[in-house]
Structures are given as structure tokens and as C-alpha cells.
Amino acid sequence: MQEKLRAYLDEVLRANREFNLTAVRDPETAWSKHVLDSLQGLEVAGLFDGTKRVVDVGTGAGFPGMILAIARPELSVTLLDATRKKCNFLEAAARDHAPNVTVICGRAEEAGHEHKMRAQFDIAVARAVGSFTEICELCLPLVKVGGKLLLWRGQDAAGEIEASQKALKMLGGRARVVASYYLPDHEMQYHLTMVEKQRSTPGIYPRRVGLPKHQPL
């Protein structure tokens, strides 16, 4: 498995010379900051067990979605990103590394209102994408009632949850911190936050492009 993950990371770093996929260019730093970080999601007991539909919102270079797909080939993983160059790279990479991956190029604000996407996923994931309330608004409409949203957050995950109680209630979710961890050679403590979707998200969410970011709930 490590060989397969290294091969994918090597491809990311090669493509990075032509266009910007990641600001991290050192292979060992990228292994820690991107691959090991993405794999932390698998430490959440039972979350990724079995055949489940997963969507990675704002996937960028495929972290964490492509890493999860390589590590757990039984998953059906959709990578969603708005940048065409990144999507082209991911489509080509998926053919070689993860046939269980589908790539969709588009905005989460729009995908959340499409019949084939809305409330279709067991799990949504997002890493380093926007504020806590913004990413909840973008992701929860994609998740089935009873499904989960797993977020990779920084040091103040508990504070983010506390500040977002009103927004979570509006979106039909309840959040908690499920894990804390450190990465090699990093002093900062990171957290995984899980949002359980308890009720259907009202049809007005997500709002139109730009509003979740610039006018958070």
C-alpha cells in the first residue's frame, strides 16, 4: 500500500512542476503533510468500513480523497473540484492509481442542487477548505440523512464547533471532535471533526456561489 501511495505522490510532484497542485515540493514533507495527514481519516473507527459512497469537496491534488480511494479500494470516491487543470490531472491519475474514483469538475454550491449529487453520499470529506461554517454549508447538502461529514481542522476545532452551533442547526447537523493528532516534524496539534447529518438540509442551501464564503451563516 505504501508503494501505491508513494507512486501517486510522485505523480503529483511531477505534475506540480508544470502547474500548481501543491505548495509543498519536498517529497518527505509532502508525504507527511499530505499522505499521512489524509490517512488520519482511517483512524476514525468504522467510518470507512464497507462499500460506501464518499465525496471529497475541494479535493485539489486529491487529498484526502485520492489517498482514501487508494487505501480502501472498496470505496466509491467522487473528487469534486472547480479547477479544470486539477480535474484533468485527477482523471488521468485515477486511471492509473484508483479505478474506484470519479472526478467531477464544478462548484460545490452548484453540485449541492444537482439531483445526482444532493443527499447521495454516505460520507463527505474536506481538508483545508474554508471556514468551518462555509464547508458545512457546501458539504452537508451532499450527504444522506444519517451520513457523516469528516473535516480535517487545526488547533481550534472545538472553538469552531462552538461558534457554529446556529449554522449547524440550520443545516441539519451535529458536530464533535473525534480525534487529535500530530504529524512528524510539526508542532501544531491537528483535529478531525465529524458532523453527523441528523435532518435533511433545507433546499435553499448551499446558497449561490460566493455567499457561503463571504456571508457565512
Domains of the chain: 2-214 (3.40.50.150)
Distance CA 21, CA 157 (A): 26
Average pLDDT, the chain: 95
β-bridge partners, 181: 190
pLDDT in tens, 6-41: 999 999 999 988 877 877 778 898 999 999 999 999
Quote the percentage of the chain above a pLDDT of 70.
Answer: 100
Q: Which three three-digit cell numbers place residue 154?
A: 487545526
Distance CA 147, CA 66 (A): 20
Q: Which three three-digit cell numbers place residue 3?
A: 508503494
pLDDT in tens, 55-77: 999 999 999 999 999 999 999 99
Closest-CA residue to 125 (of 138, 112, 109, 110)? 138
Q: Which three three-digit cell numbers place residue 121?
A: 453520499
Distance CA 105, CA 111 (A): 10
pLDDT range class, residue 86, cuts 50, 70, 90: very high
- Helix and strand numbers (H, E) in the chain are 10, 7
Prediction pTM value: 0.96
Residue with cell 489517498: 67
Distance CA 79, CA 91 (A): 9
Helices 84-97 and 2-15, interaxial angle, to 10°? 150
